[in-house]
Each structure stands twice: as C-alpha cells, then as structure tokens.
Amino acid sequence: MSKMRAIDAAVLILEREGVTCAFGVPGAAINPLYSALRARGSIRHILARHVEGASHMAEGYTRAKAGNIGLCIGTSGPAGTDMITGLYSASADSIPILCITGQAPRAKLHKEDFQAVDIESIAKPVTKWAVTVREPALVPQVFSHAFHLMRSGRPGPVLIDLPIDVQVAEIEFDADAYEPLVPYKPACSRRQAERAIRMLQAAERPLIVAGGGIVNADACDLLVEFAELTSVPVIPTLMGWGAIPDDHPLMAGMVGLQTSHRYGNRTFLESDFVLGLGNRWANRHTGSVEVYTKGRTFVHVDIEPTQIGRVFGPDLGIVSDAGAALKEFISVARDLKARGTLRDRAPWAASCAHRKRAMLRKSHFDAVPLKPQRVYQEMNEAFGQDVCYVTTIGLSQIAGAQFLHVYRPRHWINCGQAGPLGWTLPAALGVRAADPDRKIVALSGDYDFQFLIEELAVGAQHKLPYLHVVVNNSYLGLIRQSQRGFGMDFEVSLAFDNINARPDDDAVPGYGVDHVAVAEGLGCKAIRVKSPNEFKAAFARAEALMAEHQVPVVLEFILERVTNIAMGTEVDGVNEFEEILCLDPELSLRTSQTLPAPAAA
C-alpha cells in the first residue's frame, strides 16, 4: 500500500482500465486531476474548445473501436451541464463514455458556492450512474465500479463528480493489486436458441433485423456466419449498418420512415417472421406498431431485459448479449444442417436480392445548384469501401443513409436516437484520435456544421485530419420539410447577404455564412464545389491537402435551396419526392407512389 492523493489513484485506475486518451477543458475545480495527468504522462489529452464538444469527441472515440471507452473532463458548474447532451447521446445509443467533473469543496456544496451545481442529480436521467464522491477513500472503488457498470449489460455512460478537497486528500492505495472487474453479460441458453430456431424454421419469409447491439458485442462476423448458414436476409438498423457489408447477397436493405431503402421496405412488408438482434424497435425504423407488426411473428434478443416488450410484445423474448445468442443460434442451425432438416431459403433470398437490384432511387442529376443525391453518388465513387462515415441528423444524414454504402462494422458512426446538431464535427475528431489510419469522412448539413464549428481548431492544433463534407442549402432542411404539413416555411432559412462577400471570390450570393473563410480562419483547409464538373478534382484536391497539412479539410457543396428527401409516416407509405428508378416493371406497378411536387422556398 502507498499513500497518495485520491486523484493520483484515480489516474492509475484509468491506466489499468485501458484509457489512453482524454478530451476536455481544464478549470480550477478539476486542476488536481490535470496535475495528476501531467505527472503520469500516460494519457494523451486533447483540448476541446467547448465541453459539449469534448463529450462528443469521447463518443466518437468509443464508437470507433471495440473495447474503447472515451473519457471527457470538465471543471465544476457549466462544464458538467455542457456535457449533458453528450451523456444523453451516449446513453440513448448504448455507448460507454466516462465524464469526470470537478466540484466545489464538500463543505460548500449547499452554500451556493461559485459554479457549484448538483450535477449528480442533473445527470442521473441520462447515465447509467452519476455520483458525487464525498469520501476520498471511496475514489478507487467508485472508478472501479464505473468501468464495471459501463461494460456490463447494456453499455452506457457514467459521470463521476469530484469535489476538489476529495481529489487532493491522501488515501492508501495499492496499484499493483488493482484488477478490473469482469463485466456481466447475460447469455442465451440452448433451450432458448432451439425455440427461436424452431420459429425461424416454421416461417416462409424470415428476416433478421440487426441492431447496434451486434456492433457493441463485436459480433458482426457471427451475424454474417448465421445469415449465410441459414440463407436468411438481413435488415440492418441505422445503428447496425455495416454489421453485414452492403454488397453482401443477404444484405436486404434498411427499413424505416426516413433512413431506408425502397427495396428494404418492400422486402420487410413481404416478410412473415423477424428475428431482432440487439435492436430497440426505434420509431423511425418501425413507424406505427400496427403496420410494422401486422402478419409477422417476432423474436427479440436484447441484452437489456426492460427493452423486450418496451415498444411491442414479441412472440419470444430472449435476454442475451447478441454475440452469445448468435453462437447458440449457429450451433443449433449447424445441428439441423447436419441432420438435413435446415430449411432452404434460397428462393426467398433470391427474391430479396432481385428487389435490391431493381428498386432504386435516381441519383444522377446534373442540375446547378447541385441536387444532394448527386453528391452522394459521387461520394460512393470517390471513397470506395474503406471509408468511415460520421454524421448526426438532418436531411444530410437521411439522404446519406439512402444513397451511401457501408461495408464494415463501425464505419457508419451515427448518433441514432438523440441526434444533437453539432455532434458530427467533434465525433469525427474522436474517431480520428482513436484510429490515426482510418479514412474518415464526416457528413453535415450547414446548420449541424455551424453548431460546434469552433472544434475545427482542435483538429488543426492536434493534427487530426479528416474530410468534412458540408452539403449547404442554407436551410434547416429537415425542419423545413416537416413544416410542409403546417403549410409554412417559417424561421428555417439561414440565407442572408453576407456583407463581407468579395466580387472576386467564389462565395455564393445569398447563402449567408462563408464556411470556407471560417474553416480557414480556424486553421483548416476548405474547398467549395458548385458544379458537377468539379467533383472529381475537388475530392482529389481535398485528399492532397489532408496529406500535406494533416488538418481537417472542409469540402462544401452548394445545393439547391429546396430538395425534399423521401420519407413518410409508415413503412408502407414512404413518399418519393424525386424521380425513382425501377428495373422491373412488375415491381414498379406494385410499388407505384405519387411523387408530390417540392414545396417552394
């Protein structure tokens, strides 16, 4: 046993738990932690420009690689409240991040001391655990429990609030005797697996819905093995996209009201059995429960017991880690195959593959200003299969999910449930910090990009290069589209005449913020694209600038002001606002839909 400050023990535990990088902003109440980090020198620190940005960087860091836990640090008061959005986003998507905040001395917690706020109570609804540590000797146990809790069951975030006098108090701690606790993960039993496979065997047109729990469990290879063994097509959710490659014959497309494929929705509507693995039946995926469930039998596998039955009651619920369940399912299916009783799904899989080839949306538009569909078409051609996309919410994300392609797990990094604007930029920096070699492309609309645009300076300062595609229509596009239902276009335009526009530059009159100038002012590089003829040269130039300068490069595409992206209120009622393609006339007749004219700006 050795005597040391409680905060020095905390840093030793961070090291033993595998933490190598932190994102944060120092301050008076957390400076003891910074002194411990400086003394050890084992954990890289990346200085954010906003504490919310630091929390999203931690999210990106966790999401980038299996086993990662992002760490964000802030001082007392507003630093903790600024991180609430990051904690909410992480909690909603089952992402473990650790937030550490400083706090006023214990004796002043209830005396309205400067920047003293009850962050424990504020953070509780959006964390697995939030705690203000009031006894120095508890610090090692609190940190140990935090990591155990983040990794056990449904993963999620934790906030530890440390009064400054607790941080500097001396305690006894034996670092050599410290061992991380083994996480708890429930596992599917053989009997449960046999029941689920019997139900699968009884179905005529089964599907697997693959959620983010498969990615969290690092079980994507098992998913593909199970799908290939049974020949059952896979529908990934938005959080599970990449669990099976987009070009795999059994990848049947995404389903939903917005981030979906025409062929995915049609295939789902033809199914009679759904095996949900590590998914939560999110409402943008299901639409109304009545339409989604009609005529189908459901098995739901989830690591969190209270998730099963939360949206609708499945015919069979199994509480299990997705990887453990897939291992049992594979074992049962192999036994059936060895006995010659595993059903042949080849005709059903072939019909799903045919819809995937035939039911497409048009993307090749030559219009100026640009249509977003063309931007995504060019991105597919420019970036190949190794690219990792990072994005949050808006028409940019919805159209991206409809037109882009993802081929690997953790190569679609998206805050699916919370969807905070501003998330994309700092999350991309977190992904880059976790993986210095990955090809990273962030995707933002102009409003998302403006929310935390100052974090570009973090990328410049810390040499965190990535490509940020900004599709700029100078609108809150998704909100504008939803306002169609109210017959209005109110307070959603970002357009104005920028008084600093020069006659000799390429800024677009009336589009407001000059993103190129702002990005360059923050130490990054930027390129503006206004014509389809400029795409290929711009992508090549952006790659060269990243390689040369090792900073983020912004690639801004000037879009037409109004483009309505396909979406609807039910999976059987998605409106196609633009031209659609269909290579099979029979399918076209069966799925014909009215194409409403776009609303005027």
The 10s digit of each residue's pLDDT in 187-219 is 999 999 999 999 999 999 999 999 999 999 999
pLDDT tier for residue 599 given thresholds of 50, 70 and 90: very low
pLDDT of residue 600: 42
84 is catalytic: no
Q: What percent of the chain has pLDDT over 90?
A: 82
pLDDT tier for residue 504 given thresholds of 50, 70 and 90: low
- In this structure, of 63-67, 110-114, 584-588, the range with the lowest mean pLDDT score is 584-588
pLDDT tier for residue 308 given thresholds of 50, 70 and 90: very high
452 is catalytic: no
In this structure, the answer to whether residues 496 and 441 fall within a common structural domain is yes
Q: Is residue 564 part of a domain?
A: no
| Cα–Cα distance for residue pair 180/358, rounded to 1 Å | 52
| Catalytically annotated residue among 33, 46, 51, 234 | 51
In this structure, the answer to whether residues 379 and 476 fall within a common structural domain is yes
| Catalytically annotated residue among 406, 421, 554, 558 | 421
Q: CATH code at 311?
A: 3.40.50.1220
pLDDT at 592 over 60: no
51 is catalytic: yes
In this structure, the answer to whether residues 350 and 370 fall within a common structural domain is no
Contact at 8 Å (CB) between 41 and 22? Answer: no
pLDDT tier for residue 110 given thresholds of 50, 70 and 90: confident
pLDDT at 461 over 90: yes
**Of 359, 388, 413, which marks where a domain is finished?**
359
Q: Is residue 58 part of a domain?
A: yes
Give the contacts of 543 (CB within 8 A, at least 6 positions apart). 467
**Of 359, 385, 403, which marks where a domain is finished?**
359
Q: Is residue 48 part of a domain?
A: yes
| Catalytically annotated residue among 25, 171, 274, 299 | 25
478 is catalytic: no
Q: Is residue 469 part of a domain?
A: yes
| Structural domain containing residue 504 | 362-558
Q: Which of 372, 521, 451 is nearest to 85 (CA)?
A: 451
- In this structure, of 98-112, 359-373, 450-464, 495-509, the range with the lowest mean pLDDT score is 495-509
In this structure, the answer to whether residues 235 and 338 fall within a common structural domain is yes
CA distances from 197 to 121, 286, 318 (A): 44, 24, 12
Place of tokens 């919410």: 393
In this structure, the answer to whether residues 124 and 203 fall within a common structural domain is no
Q: Is residue 563 part of a domain?
A: no
pLDDT of residue 597: 43
- In this structure, of 15-29, 424-438, 461-475, 488-502, the range with the lowest mean pLDDT score is 488-502
In this structure, the answer to whether residues 45 and 152 fall within a common structural domain is yes
In this structure, the answer to whether residues 354 and 373 fall within a common structural domain is no
Phi, psi of 534 (to 5 degrees): -95, -10
In this structure, the answer to whether residues 388 and 522 fall within a common structural domain is yes
Q: Which of 360, 358, 353 is nearest to 380 (CA)?
A: 360
User: Reduced to 3 states, what is the DSSP secondary structure of residue 27?
Assistant: coil
pLDDT of residue 48: 97
User: What would the two tokens of residue 264 be?
Assistant: 């995915």
pLDDT of residue 596: 46
Question: Distance between the two ends of the chain, CA-based, in angstroms?
Answer: 70
In this structure, the answer to whether residues 522 and 390 fall within a common structural domain is yes
479 is catalytic: yes
In this structure, the answer to whether residues 29 and 95 fall within a common structural domain is yes
Q: What percent of the chain has pLDDT over 70?
A: 97
In this structure, the answer to whether residues 386 and 309 fall within a common structural domain is no
CA atoms lying within 13 Å on the CB side of residue 154: 22
Using the Cα atoms of residue 351, residue 326, residue 440 and residue 255 in order, give the sign of their dihedral: positive
pLDDT at 601 over 50: no
- The 3-state secondary structure of 505-560 reads CCCCCCCCCCHHHHHHHCCCEEEEECCHHHHHHHHHHHHHHHHHHCCCEEEEEEEC
| Cα–Cα distance for residue pair 229/589, rounded to 1 Å | 34
Burial 414-438 (b: 16+ CB within 10 A, else e): bbbbbbbbbbbbbbbbbbbbbbeeb
- In this structure, of 8-12, 477-481, 574-578, the range with the lowest mean pLDDT score is 477-481
Mean pLDDT across 451-469:
97
- The 3-state secondary structure of 271-331 reads CCEEEEECCCCCHHHHCCHHHHHCCCEEEEEECCHHHCCCCCCCCEEEECCHHHHHHHHHH
Q: CATH code at 149?
A: 3.40.50.970
pLDDT of residue 588: 61
Mean of pLDDT over the chain? 92
Q: Is residue 596 part of a domain?
A: no
Mean pLDDT across 160-178:
96
Q: Is residue 60 part of a domain?
A: yes
Domain count, the chain: 3
DSSP tag of 204 = S
Q: Is residue 184 part of a domain?
A: no
Contact at 8 Å (CB) between 71 and 22? Answer: yes
| Cα–Cα distance for residue pair 185/302, rounded to 1 Å | 11
pLDDT at 594 over 50: no
**Of 359, 392, 414, which marks where a domain is finished?**
359
CA atoms lying within 13 Å on the CB side of residue 330: 16
- Long-range contacts at 244-249 (CB < 8 A, ≥ 24 apart): 244/210, 244/220, 245/385, 245/406, 245/407, 245/408, 246/405, 246/406, 246/407, 247/405, 247/407, 248/224, 249/349, 249/353
| Catalytically annotated residue among 43, 291, 479, 494 | 479
| Catalytically annotated residue among 168, 257, 476, 558 | 476
pLDDT at 564 over 90: no
Total residues found in the chain within this entry: 601
Mean pLDDT across 52-61:
97
Contact at 8 Å (CB) between 264 and 252? Answer: yes
| Cα–Cα distance for residue pair 509/566, rounded to 1 Å | 28
Q: Which amino acid is at 56?
A: H
In this structure, the answer to whether residues 73 and 100 fall within a common structural domain is yes
**What digits encode the pLDDT tens for the residues 222-259?**
999 999 999 999 999 999 999 999 999 999 999 999 99
pLDDT at 46 over 70: yes
